[in-house]
Structure 1
């Protein structure tokens, strides 16, 4: 791969800052004899993207307990142009607004995300809102309340 792939999310506990140390632990055969990569707790994907950018990986398997996170990775894999278009629309509305209106837009989008995240037909919108909220909330924190609603 010519261009390194970087994480598109901020993630609490992300490994981007310690990748140099983690790389020293990669198996010597990674990308040669070892061509599959499995990531059980992908989060922001710093290690995943580092491995697939630097090594010849034929298959990558990712998982995480966060359903919306996995929905987002799947939407990017299957519908990247649609996700980008929706993100551009969200960004355009948000960046054109003053601070007070940005706050209102954030809370409306957070409510919409919570309302639709369980709908099976809202993959692109859910994923776009997931990324939008990640980029506009406090430090990329993902937290849910006792009802399972995102509340950062």
Structure 2
């Protein structure tokens, strides 16, 4: 059986920017929504798990997550990624202690198609936590 690549791409900035005051985002920064990053991690794990089960793949899957910002030219440095968190009552905020990296290192986890729902949730949480730790945040799905 041939093995392939599954790609999930999502714009995690539009919702964050829509619900955040412009002055809260540093100049030359792109707001990224912690909620959407978490949803993408869950969706990636679930989609890969379901596809592997449907194709009867019995070996472990390597899942990689990363964030990137599109620049106008290859010579332009990437903008800072600014994490936007949603607090109680649905209010959005940029934590003062958060890092604003220009690049996120790819994060890799292993998922086995034979895992049950609890293990699937743990894998999604690990992926999400490792991405958000690069912002200096410790989130929970």
Same fold (TM over 0.5): no
Which structure has greater strand proportion?
A: 2
Question: Which category describes the TM-score, using the shorter chain as reference length?
Answer: under 0.3
Which structure has greater helix proportion?
A: 1
TM, length-normalised to structure 2: 0.22
